[in-house]
Amino acid sequence: MSFRVVIEEEAEQEYVKAVRFYDERQPGVGQRFARDLRAFFKVVCKNPERFRLVSRLTRKARLPKPWPYSVFFAINRESSEVIISTIWHDSRNPAELRRRLR
């Protein structure tokens, strides 16, 4: 079974911020990040249960290097969706992450 990606609003904002940040530092890098992230979503959707649970419903998938990000998501089997709640830069405050995952 293949799943489709649904990105929650806050995660969408994090995605846009990251792309903008990388493109401001070096043109084209943000677009490479966006492409790699979309490809990673496809990997997650093929077998989302392979990623570890970090709470009762939330799973964590670490992006491959060089990207210092993790994707937090839930699985909705009824609608065949992977719901992305957070695209988290690994150096951010973990207390904020815990608040978001509640």
Per the structure, how many domains does the chain have? 1
Q: CB-side exposure of 51: number of CA atoms within 13 Å?
A: 24
* Predicted pLDDT at 94: 85
Instruction: Please choose, from the candidates 56, 58, 84, 68, the residue with its C-alpha nearest in 3D space to the C-alpha of residue 21.
Output: 68
Task: Give the predicted TM-score (pTM) of the model.
Answer: 0.92
* β-bridge mates for residue 61, sequence order: 71
Regions of the chain with pLDDT less than 50 = none
Q: What pLDDT is attached to residue 1?
A: 67
pLDDT score for 16: 97
Q: For residue 88, give its domain range.
A: 4-101
CATH of the domain at 64: 3.30.2310.20
